[in-house]
Structure 1
């Protein structure tokens, strides 16, 4: 039984990503967004699976949960990212769409180790660029 080799990429010091902040990097031509919410880091492909809109600009929120008629139950606070164009909601932990688990955004393994934010990638990171962007939420 062989396990797939993961390539370790130190992205930045942990202090560069405070609560609610975002980082955007490009690795081998693919943009990856990293968000800190509720003290945890999440990394994802910066493209909504619907129409490719940049998810880094999406709001991080909760969502309404299934409930009885005339009852409104809010949950998953700061675990949902919403596409800024059409409002599709994705769970930051799983990448799966709230409306259908068969639709998902691409997620990346991200960890905090020794004061650094570290991505684990399937492919060797040949070209890495930290991108600047303007995001007011």
Structure 2
């Protein structure tokens, strides 16, 4: 009985792969592909890991889909846009403060200015960052 189930699942997998929903071994699956994979795994009595590996998907990826699907529904399976990386930028107010301290006391070192800003303003800034600000200011 188990072997018959396995053969049926294999034929179902091959039908899905050859159907209009184009399964591929790529980085992203569409919403429809993810739903089809979840429905296939849920409807089969075979091991989940076996079916997932036949489809070329990581099991941990599938578990993430299941978690989001059960928590927030099918809409949660949409491909999430990356937020992009944000470069850490020192605020302009701190930049102006660095320049003001250097104008008031030109003999202060960059690390000393950084220490003063930390003590008086509660904002940490590295000595190298102070040097870069002063270098660009020249």
TM-score tier by shorter-chain length is: under 0.3
* More contact order relative to length (CA 8 Å, sep ≥ 6): 1
Higher strand content, 1 or 2: 1
Higher helix content, 1 or 2: 2
Structure-1-length-normalised TM-score: 0.19
Which structure has the larger Rg over C-alpha atoms?
Answer: 2
